[in-house]
A = this chain, B = another copy of it.
């Protein structure tokens, strides 16, 4: 984006604070979508004026939040090689990356949507295109029956939100692992938690979209 770097592009700590603000915004807004900028600044350990210096208005901050989320999506989709890898593998990888962020996408979406008030689609065209490619390939491979990528994406995101909101150690996450005794360990192990959520997301989405097989293993 930024072409060259003149003597002083952006000071390092300033950029660091921008990140702080965005993180704080996610944290605070998750608790209360109508929280004031002061609460966000407080959470970030900064003065409210600083927030205003970085983001001209509340709307601008929300836009930045949306853009960041969008960028992360795009990054994950690219990293998972949705165009070349086997579609089921790509789906799994994308899901893993997305869940790893541990933030409520719907939350951000809703807030931004409420702010921009029936503006353009929340996800950029690039992200939608990539997702479309993935779902088309899944359909072609017979993994799903649904043929409309937009519908697939909506269902995926809806379920993603639910998977995200499951409290750690819930019964749905233990699933059908062949080992029986590791459920206790899985409750606290972040890696196991991530794996369980990814698995639940993928199987649920495939099922919802008319996937032929919950194949991964036999069900209890």
Contacts and interface: CB of A to CB of B under 8 A. Distances in A.
A151 interface: yes
Contacts of A158: 158-159, 161-162
A205 B118 CA distance: 28
Quick one: copies of this chain in the complex? 2
Given A204-B155, A210-B207, A148 B172 contact: yes
Nearest to A107: B110
A26 to B, nearest CB: 16
Interface in A202-218: 203-205, 207-211, 214
A201 to B, nearest CB: 11
A146 B172 contact: yes
A210 B219 contact: yes
Interface string A98-111: 00000000000010
B114 A34 contact: yes
A16 interface: no
Nearest to A209: B207
Contact of A33 (B114, B159, B165, B214): B114
Contacts of A34: 34, 114
A34 to B, nearest CB: 6
A159 B208 contact: yes
A208 B204 contact: yes
A208 B208 contact: yes
A47 interface: no
Contacts of A148: 170-172
A11 interface: no
B166 A114 contact: no
Contacts of A204: 155, 208-209
Given A32-B114, A207-B211, 16 more contacts: A31-B118, A145-B214, A145-B219, A146-B172, A148-B170, A154-B165, A155-B162, A155-B204, A158-B159, A204-B208, A204-B209, A207-B208, A207-B209, A207-B210, A208-B208, A210-B219
